[in-house]
Structure formats: structure tokens, C-alpha cells
Amino acid sequence: MKDAPRPIFSYPRFWAECLTPAPELPMSRAEMDALGWDSCDIVIVSGDAYVDHPSFGAAVIGRVLEAQGFRVGIIAQPDWRSAEPFAALGRPNLFFGITAGNMDSMVNRYTADRKRRSDDAYTPGGKGGSRPDRASLVYAQRAREAFPDVPIVLGGIEASLRRLAHYDYWSDKVRRSLLVDAKADLLVYGNGERAVVEIAHRLARGVSIEDLWDIRGIVHVRKSLPADHVPVDARHIDAPGHGPADPHPYAMAAANDCRQASAEAGRATPVRWHRRERSRPEVIVLPDFEQVRDDKDLYAHASRVIHLETNPGNARPLAQRHGDRWVFVNPPPLPLTTEELDWVFELPYTRRPHSAYGEARIPAYEMIRFSVNIMRGCFGGCTFCSITEHEGRHIQSRSEESILREIETIRDRVPGFTGVISDLGGPTANMYRLACKDPKIEAACRKPSCVYPDICPHLNTDHRPLIRLYRKARALPGIKKVLVASGLRYDLAVRSPEYVRELVTHHVGGYLKIAPEHTEPGPLSKMLKPGIKTYHRFKRLFDKYSREAGKEQYLIPYFIAAHPGSTDEDMLKLALWLKENGFRPDQVQTFLPSPMATATAMYHSGRNPLRKVTRTSERVFTAKGLRARRLQKAFLRYHDPDNWPLIREALRRMGREDLIGNGKRHLVPAWQPATSRKTAEKRSIKRIERGGRRSPVRRSARRTGRRLS
């Protein structure tokens, strides 16, 4: 497998280059006719509305392929109840590209309490219900019905997170690789520009889809392991271990008795295990799907091994048997260079929704239309976050010149621009141009985080390039304000007081959102987040520089309830901290176990895969069940009368009745309003909807204790 990729803009253009680029990628046959196209080379099916903007994955891949000379059509949010909408653009000459959109479809459609959402930010009008559950799987099946002989390539974050056997929170079971269930030909994970460009050009040259097995960043299904690879049992990487009375967790015999073990497992052919054979590349053999499905400890162990093999500099292929087939995961794609990333972001996007949507408002677009993405990736390694699993730990930064040109493009071309850039950031606001000081160390590192338990001494934390960028951006003619709204890594920011001063003085719009996530060391250690003392250090700098700038500005901290490792006692301490510091959070989040995340492995298995997983290794408590999760969320909203009965009951159970009362030192009062303000407002709204009159509320229910009617 090649480690020195060719630049993605260096391929010879496909013959259809003379027919491209399109003002906007076509969504109908009429648009294709107007462009003079008799067919599309590639058709991208997306669960999102088509917004031709570099923040939307389908648009990025579409424009990248178009720049290679291919004719690309878009089928956005098709009716999945039949195959007919999937044939709207005709038979694609090369392949279907299938994506659920910018979000996993299950995360998009359901809350952390498994309730269906009524809205969808990626749909015109913000209405929910425009995509199916597990959209990638359903779309692939319908595309196959429409054109059985056309190759299908899965991509996007849903495919990335489901590339191997994974725990699915919504069905509460371990599901097979999405590639197997969808019966697709290939799955592209991570940022897919390199892989998709290579796939398209090879197919255009007549190479069969079955022969595209050697491309980085893809997953394919095989009948057997490749003969030129040495299979390495995952036990040899990080032995799961077991007590003397336990059977081997893989239910396999020693290497010299492999044939017998294979027969017992019902396998057609034995797997020969080797510790090392340097003359041939290795493939890490994970526990089978059936094993991780039935054994939670093995699931946690497999999750640990998967995350050990995510560095493009040293990752080896992974293989996992699903029945009589192997799901084979090639090493991750190599990060794009600055020159390549600039090229991707400066393709001829219209930067607006497709004209077919008319004046319909698409909330996700409204949120980002005046924002600029300056980098990709995150080395924070937060266990609950999907960024690392999808984009990787290596930071890929754009050049200053490219970023400034995009700001000028927004100023000159985007309707409604008032001179304010709403966000200059990315997955993390302040990781621009940060990387390991030594490329050799970076290529060999297997740590999940560069900033936990403390910032790695090999990490460059110089914020001066970002400060220069901020100053140049706000100095551009016609730019009144440049805001930073992306998530800020404040443990990095405190290393550069000059950066904090620059940020607070010029780039905060009154409020700055940051995410301590918790105050207690137990859950923070399972999140790989810094201690609350670091938050206080940042707050002191924030307040100091706000005063010096003569501005009244506030930090808005975010916290998570019901994260693995968070007990009710931890949440109580967090609630007391919130009250002591005068915070009354309005919007709070409950941990949602997304596929592949390390925290999800903790939630499902009860083990801690951040450490070696054995039959007797550390157990991780997780609040499960609706009532237990609601209680932890209630502690975050201790000030809401609707939560007081639940909190009082918990305090009595925990022996903390001293926190129930009407004084300042108490968490919740001993009394309960007959009807809370929220309930009263809901009833009043219902009366108005029925045509009744709404009486003014002169005194709150909290003060009177009487029912409002």
C-alpha cells in the first residue's frame, strides 16, 4: 500500500471535463439536458438537502469529482419507499455514492431518550421525516433495485462510524458492519476525497470494483484474508486477559491447535496466527462479529484495538469475520496537505441551497452561511465525540491566503451579508496549525489524545499563526466583525494568554460557549477532558481581558449528563457547583452513545477500553434506563420546578436531605408549586389555540403555590 499519495488535483481529467463545471450540480433530467448531458458518470444520493457549500459533504465530494472531469448529479432526500426516485437521473456510468448526510441518520432523527425529533436542520423548512432510519442502508437497497449492475460506494459519517461491528443504541444491540447489511461494494470512511477520486478514475479506466481493494480509507468484503498479508491475532497487540477459570475470550486454541479451534467455530478454513513476519504486511484480526455481539468484554477489547490502529502513520489493516466473509478495513487515508485542502475549499461552490428549493429556509445552512472552516481534525480524543473517528487526530490546516479569499467571497457573493463572519473555526476553534513537533514521533504515536491527562510535551501549542489570521481577517475591507463560535479547547488556550486576549477583545459576541462537560474527576477521566481547575484558569483570563477591553462578556459552559463513569453523586456535586457559580443551564445534553465511540463501548460493555480490557478489569458505571438518565439531567436543571420532585427523592435516597430546604445553601426547596411556570405556559398556549382568552399572570406559580387556570 502506497504511503506517498499523489495530490488529488494531479490526475488527468476525465473526457467529460469539456461539459463541466455546472453552475450547480443537477438534481433533475431537465437540468442535465440544459447542461448538454446525456448521462451522469456518478450520482450522489444524500439524506440532506443539497446545499452547494464546502460545509456539506455531498457538495464537497460532488465538486471534487466534477473538478476531475466527471459529470456528477445529486439526488437529495429521495422518497425511499420505492426505487423510482433513485432512477430520476438515469443510470450512472460509474457508481452511486450513498451518504446519510452530515449527521448519522439515527442521531439526526432521535433524541438521547430515543424520542423522534420533529425537526431536521438539513431539510427545507426544518421539517422532520424526510429521511429514513439508517438512511445509508435504505438508500443503498433502493439504488440496487433501480440499477442492479451499478456499483455502490457508501460514505459520510454514518458509514465511517459503522464500518465494523458496532453497538447501536437505538436497537440496543450490536449490529453488523454497514457494508455487509447494505450489500454495497465499497465503504469510504473519514474525509473521502483521496479515496473517491482514486475510485472514480480507476473505474473510468475499466478496472472492476472488486479490484479496488488496495486504496487507503476504504472497507471491502472478502471471502478470505489476502495471501500477501500476515494475520496477527488482536490478542498479541493488547491481550484481553482472563482469570484461570475463564475460557479464552476468543474461544480459540493456541496457534498450534488452530485447525481444531476453527472446526469448533464452524469455519471452513483455519486462520494461521503469526506474531511477527516482517517480510509481509500485517492485518490485525479482530474478534468475529458473532463474538463481539455475544460477549461485551470482547466488544470493549475490540473497540480498544480499533482505536489503537487509527494513526495513518502506523495503522495496520483490520479484518473482522462476519459469518463466512471478512470485512477488511484498509488503513486510514493520509491527511490532505495545505495545498490540497485549499484546492478543495476553493472549488466553484455557489455557497447557497440549490435553486429548486426556492425561498425555503434550511436551518443548517442559515447557521453556517457566513462562517469559514479553517481546518480539519481534532487531537483532543474526547471519548464521546465522533470527530476523531471520522476526521482523524491530525490537524489539516488551510493557508491564510485561502481563508482570506473565502471571506472576501462571502463578502462579495453571499446574499444578506452584513459584514459579520459568524464563525472562523472548525471542529475545534484553536487547533489551527498545531501538530507534533517531531513528524517521526507523530507517525509512531498511538495515544488517543494529545492533551490528556496533560498536554503532550511534543505538541506544538503556538497560537501565533491563529492570532495573525484573526488580525488579517478583521482587517479586510467590508468586514465589521469576525466571531469565533466553534468549540474552544481552553486547556490549550491558557498556554497562550496572548491568544485569549485577542479572542476576548475582538472575537466574542458577548457570550462564549465552552465545554467543561463535568466537574468531577471520575467522569472526566472517562471523557479524556481536563479537570475543572483548568476551566477556572481560563475563566480568570477571560474575565481579566474582558474588563481590560471594557466589555461585559460571559462564559456559557456546557455539561453532559449520564456519561459513562458519572454517578448520581457526581451529578449532585456538579449541580452544587452550578448553583455556587450562579449557572442555571437552559439547554443541557444527555449522553448519546454514537456508533464506534469509546464512550459507547463503555456504555454497552461496562468496561473501560482506555485501559487493557480483561475479565476482571475496571468496571464503569453508567446510568441506564429512562428514569436514571432523567435524574442525571434533572441535576443539571436543578432550578426547574418540574425537576424538584425527582431531585428530592434522589437526595433522600442518597442521605442528603440537608440539601432540601428554602435557604441559599439548599439545592431544591421543600415546597412544590401547584403548577410550574412551564406547565402553566403550556396550558395557556393550549387555551389560546382553542380560542380562549389568556389571563395575564400577575404572580408566578413559584411564589403563590396555587394552580394557574
User: Which residues, 6+ apart, have CB-to-CB distance to 622 below 8 Å?
Assistant: 562, 563, 564, 565, 566, 602, 603, 606
Q: Which of 667, 707, 708, 500 is nearest to 576 (CA)?
A: 667
At 410, which helix (H) or strand (E)? Answer: helix 400-413
How many Cβ atoms from other residues are within 10 Å of residue 476's Cβ? 14
pLDDT of residue 690: 53
Q: Quick one: DSSP state of residue 336?
A: P
Is the pLDDT score of 676 beyond 80?
A: no
- The answer to whether the peptide bond before residue 85 is cis (omega within 30 degrees of 0) is no
The reply to whether CATH 3.40.50.2300 applies to domain 1-223+326-334 is yes
Predicted confidence band of residue 586 (pLDDT cuts 50, 70, 90): confident
Q: What is the 3-state secondary structure (H, E, C) of 343-378?
A: HHHCCCCCCEECHHHCCCCCHHHHHHCCEEECEECC
Q: What is the mean pLDDT of residues 615-629?
A: 94
pLDDT in tens, 86-110: 999 999 999 999 999 999 999 999 9
Q: Which residues pair with 175 in a beta bridge?
A: 166
All 3 cell numbers of residue 227? 495471501
Q: What's the per-residue H, E or C state across 521-583? A: HHHHHHHCCCCHHHHHHHHHHHHHHHHHCCCCCEEEEEEEECCCCCCHHHHHHHHHHHHHCCC
* Cβ(287)–Cβ(297) below 8 Å: no
In the structure, what pLDDT confidence band is assigned to residue 243 with cuts at 50, 70 and 90?
very low
Q: Is the pTM of this model over 0.85?
A: yes
Helices (H), 27-155: 29-35, 57-67, 105-109, 135-146
pLDDT recorded at residue 701: 35
Q: Which of 76, 327, 318 is nearest to 187 (CA)?
A: 327
Helices (H), 74-134: 105-109
pLDDT at residue 389, rounded to an integer:
86
Cα–Cα distance measured from residue 553 to residue 544, given in angstroms and rounded to the nearest whole number: 11
Instruction: Indicate the pLDDT class of residue 3, thresholds 50, 70 and 90.
Output: low
pLDDT tens digits, residue range 36-91? 999 999 999 999 999 999 999 999 999 999 999 999 999 999 999 999 999 999 99
In whole angstroms, what is the distance from residue 643 CA to residue 636 CA?
10
1-223+326-334 and 370-507 agree in CATH topology: no
3 state DSSP class of 210: helix
Residue 699 banded pLDDT, cuts 50, 70, 90: very low
Calpha distance 34→379 (Å, rounded)? 46
Confidence of residue 156 (pLDDT cuts 50, 70, 90): very high
Residue count of the chain: 709
Q: Dihedral sign for Cα 518, 521, 523, 525, please.
A: positive
Count other C-beta atoms under 10 Å from residue 236's C-beta.
15
**pLDDT over 90 percentage in the chain:** 85
Q: Where residue 236 falls among pLDDT bands split at 50, 70, 90?
A: confident
Mean pLDDT over 700-706 rounds to 34
Give CA–CA dist 599/608, Å, rounded. Answer: 8
**Which one, of 76, 73, 85, lies nearest residue 35 by Cα?**
73
Average pLDDT over residues 113-132: 96
pLDDT at 278: 56
What pLDDT, in 10s, does the model give residues 408-442?
Answer: 999 999 999 999 999 999 999 999 999 999 999 99
Q: SS3 of 444, please?
A: helix
- Comparing 173-187, 251-265, 340-354, 683-697, which segment has the lowest mean pLDDT? 251-265
Query: In this predicted model, which residue has the larger pLDDT, 684 or 356?
Result: 356
* Tens digit of each residue's pLDDT (9 = 90 or more) over 440-495: 999 999 999 999 999 999 999 999 999 999 999 999 999 999 999 999 999 999 99
How many Å apart are CA 515 and CA 524, to the nearest integer? 12
Q: Under a CB-based contact definition with an 8 Å cutoff, are residues 483 and 421 in contact? A: yes
User: What number of H helices and E strands is found in the chain?
Assistant: 26, 23
pLDDT at 220: 98
Distance, in Å, from the CA atom of 373 to the CA atom of 367, rounded to the nearest integer, reads 13
- pLDDT one-digit tens code per residue, 180-215: 999 999 999 999 999 999 999 999 999 999 999 999
Cβ–Cβ < 8 Å for 86, 77: no
- What lies within 8 Å, CB to CB, of 196 at 6+ separation is 61, 64, 65, 97, 153, 155, 188
**What is the per-residue pLDDT for 5?**
82
Q: What is the pLDDT of residue 237?
A: 76
Q: Which of 601, 536, 515, 595 is nearest to 565 (CA)?
A: 601
Find the angle CA(218)-CA(224)-CA(225) to the nearest 5 degrees. 60
Residue 703 has pLDDT above 80, yes or no: no
The predicted model gives 360-379 an average pLDDT of 97
Cell triple for residue 253? 486454541
Positive or negative: CA dihedral 587, 591, 596, 598: positive
C-alpha cell at 453: 491527562
Average pLDDT estimate for 265-289: 65
pLDDT one-digit tens code per residue, 304-348: 999 999 999 999 999 999 999 999 999 999 999 999 999 999 999
Does residue 268 have a pLDDT over 60? no
Residue 632 has which C-alpha cell? 442525571
Report DSSP letters for 231-281, one per residue: EEEGGGTS-----TTSPPTT----GGGHHHHHHHTT-SS-----S--TTS-
Mean pLDDT of the chain: 90
| Residue 262 scores a pLDDT above 50 | no
Residue 159: pLDDT band with limits 50, 70, 90: very high
Q: Higher pLDDT residue, 702 or 104?
A: 104
Average pLDDT for 508-524: 96
C-alpha cell at 1: 500500500
Other CB atoms closer than 10 Å to residue 248's CB: what's the count? 12
Q: Which of 333, 365, 335, 339 is nearest to 350 (CA)?
A: 365
How far is residue 134's CA from residue 138's CA, in Å, rounded to a whole number? 7
Does residue 692 have a pLDDT over 70?
no
Q: Give the β-pairing of 352-353 and 371-373.
A: unpaired
Is the CA virtual torsion 595, 600, 601, 606 positive or negative? negative
Measured between alpha carbons, how far is residue 606 from residues 166, 301, 564, 698 in Å? 15, 12, 8, 51
Residues 6 or more apart in contact with residue 638 via CB below 8 angstroms: 575, 578, 579, 647, 667, 668
Fold classification of 370-507 is Transcription Regulator spoIIAA (3.30.750)
Assess contact for 404 and 464: CB atoms under 8 A: no
Domain boundaries, the chain: 1-223+326-334, 226-323, 370-507, 673-709
How far apart CA 363 and CA 368 sit, in angstroms, is 9
Reduce the DSSP state of residue 230 to 3 states and report it: strand
